[in-house]
Each structure stands twice: as structure tokens, then as C-alpha cells.
Amino acid sequence: MSTNERHVPVMLRRCLDLLAPALGEPGATVVDCTLGLGGHSEAMLSEFPDVRLIGLDRDPAALELAGERLARFGDRATLVHAVYDELPEVLERLGVPRVRGVLFDLGVSSMQLDEAERGFAYSRDAPLDMRMDQSRGVSAAEVLNTYPPGELVRILRAYGEEKQARRIVSAIVREREKEPFTGSARLVELIREALPQAAKRTGGNPAKRTFQALRIEVNGELAVLERALPAAVAALEVGGRIAVLSYHSLEDRLVKQVLAAGATSTAPPGLPVVPERYQPRLRLLTRGAELPTEEEVAENRRAAPARLRGAERIREEP
């Protein structure tokens, strides 16, 4: 299967429209902080012929495939092996002080979901890995087999919003004492058996929330995003725009908080005239979070949970 066939970029037209006023400028630089298989990047390079793209990804396999896809654009595309909270260091290294656009497409890439051996999907048996960069960090199996019970409960509650966390963790601890976890099928089966009947009837696969929690923990996703969003806003020049696609409420909440804070005056209450240093730095481009259309979800089921938010930089830092 080719890269193009297996990767349908989510809310592509809307992302391009949001970024277009900033990327139409001559010599504009845009950063795709989550390059993946390069679908959004390819569209930006095609639609805006003067744009220079910097693409970041922590997954070496994704970088290689995206590199093949974007090769025809030559030196207009610079691809970097980096996690997106390393954006300031990458821009400094490349000698790029500010950029016109930033795109985040968060969550797991199509390639990571489609390749069973990566262990992201709960629908088939695979090694419990879940690392986006398999050259570093602890795997999901190590988390399951070594974390104290209280820490596992915290992770499932905080990152998976799993109401049955204590029940699931009790079963995990009992099982890991008999034999360490290595594959996803055993974990999925254990979760099914641990949950009460009522909990199995709602919200799709009962393992979904546990797998999400493990993935976020293994890759430090929320901590990385907390650092990356303010850095991305700071990297925008005035008139520059940011678009962020998130796929669960924890990500979307963080995005909403950062963009809303930038779009709010920081002046003490009661000032008759608000000085420049207290004025908002951002203007929100979306009313709340925008959702994919029914047609798009019908074509690409992975678009279903997507939430898109955008903002424009309207002032320098005080």
C-alpha cells in the first residue's frame, strides 16, 4: 500500500483555509510539528508554492516515508528528527527566528496504527510497545509490568479518564505476578473480564481508554504538548497562524487553555485604558472547536474524534 493510499489527512481543506492568509506571504515558513506521513505538509507545499516547510517527527520510520513523499519539493522541505517541544531548538539550529504558520496534528499517525508490531492498536495481538520513537524510552509492557499499582491507577484515570481504573489495575497486578505482559491481546482480554457488564456496553472497545492512557504515558504526550504549544505561539510572527488538531478531551482542553489565554487581556481589572503590554497576543479563528463533516467521517473514520482550533498572532510579546 502506498503512503498516499494509507494516509488520508484529517480536516485537510479546513486546515489549509485557516493557515492560508499567513502562508500566502512571499517567503513564508510553516512548521508541521507532527509530520507523520506528510499528508498535510504535501498539501501545504502544493497549495502555497513560495512556502518553505520544516517538518518535525519523533518517529524515524515516519520521517523516512514522508521524505520519499516530499522529495519532489527539494530544498523547500526540511525534515527533522525531533519531538515537537524541541521546536525552539530546531528553529535556532536552522537559523529561523520566526515563522508564519504552525500545524499540529496530534495523536497517533496512520502508520503507527496500521503496523501491528508497533502495539498501538487494541484490535489485534501485537507486542505492547507504543513508543512513537522506538529508539528510546520505556515501552507499554515495561509500564504495565513495573509501575506501582497506585501509579497505574493514576495514569488510567488521568490519561484515559477510565472510571474503572482501580478494578483494571487490580487485575493487571494479579496477572503480572504470574507472568509479565508482552502482548496486547492478553491485556484486552483481561480488561474485558475485569469490567462490569454495564461498563462494557458503552463507548466502543472497553480497552480503548487503557490503551490511550498507556500511550500518553509512554510518549509523555501531555507534558510535551504543555511545553510545545506556548513555544509554537512564541515562534509566530505577527500575522502568523497556528492550527491544532486534537483527538481526545485532554489534548483539546490544553489547546483551548493556551489559545484562550493568549487571546485574553492580562490587565488588572478597572483600568480605564489598557496598556499595550496587557493586550491579547492572539485572535481566535475558530468558535470553540470545529468538527469534521459527516462526509469526511464517512470517508475516513479516523477523523471522527478530531477537534480543530486555530489562532492568529496579532501582537508581539510585551
pLDDT digits (tens, 9 = 90+) for 182-208: 999 999 999 999 988 766 656 678 888
Instruction: List the grid coordinates of 50.
Output: 513560495
- Residue 38 marked ligand-binding: yes
Q: Read out DSSP for 182-202?
A: -BHHHHHHHHHHHS-HHHHTS
- Residue 7 marked ligand-binding: no
Q: Which residue has the higher pLDDT, 271 or 246?
A: 246
- Residue 134 marked ligand-binding: no
- Residue 240 marked ligand-binding: no
- Residue 288 marked ligand-binding: no
pLDDT in the model for residue 121: 63
Query: What are the helix and strand counts (H, E) for the chain?
Result: 15, 7
Identify which of 173, 83, 104, 184 has the alpha carbon closest to the alpha carbon of residue 140: 184
pLDDT in the model for residue 246: 95
- Residue 67 marked ligand-binding: no
Identify which of 134, 103, 138 has the alpha carbon closest to the alpha carbon of residue 255: 103
Phi, psi (deg, nearest 5) at residue 182: -130, -35
pLDDT in the model for residue 262: 95
pLDDT in the model for residue 213: 94
- Residue 125 marked ligand-binding: no
Are residues 17 and 40 in contact, defined by beta-carbon separation less than 8 angstroms? Answer: no
Q: What is the pLDDT of residues 159-171, one digit of tens each?
A: 999 999 999 999 9
Q: Read out DSSP for 206-271?
A: TTHHHHHHHHHHHHTHHHHHHHHHHHHHHHEEEEEEEEEEE-SHHHHHHHHHHHHHHTS--PPTT-
Whether residue 91 is predicted with pLDDT greater than 90 in this model: the reply is: yes
Residue 266: pLDDT band with limits 50, 70, 90: confident
pLDDT in the model for residue 198: 66
Identify which of 235, 291, 299, 287 has the alpha carbon closest to the alpha carbon of residue 263: 287
Whether residue 259 is predicted with pLDDT greater than 60 in this model: the reply is: yes
CATH superfamily name and code, 116-219: Putative methyltransferase TM0872, insert domain (1.10.150.170)
CA–CA distance, 147 with 210 (Å, rounded to integer): 14
pLDDT in the model for residue 2: 41
Where do you find CATH 1.10.150.170 in the chain? 116-219
Q: What is the pLDDT of residues 125-156, one digit of tens each?
A: 888 988 888 777 899 999 999 999 999 999 99
CATH superfamily name and code, 3-111+221-313: Vaccinia Virus protein VP39 (3.40.50.150)
CA–CA distance, 111 with 140 (Å, rounded to integer): 18
Where do you find CATH 3.40.50.150 in the chain? 3-111+221-313
Average pLDDT over residues 240-263: 96
Average pLDDT over residues 172-182: 96
For the chain, give the mean pLDDT.
90
Bridge pairing between strands 236-246 and 99-105: parallel
Residue 39: pLDDT band with limits 50, 70, 90: very high
Low-confidence winner among 115-119, 189-193, 218-222, 309-313 (lowest mean pLDDT): 115-119
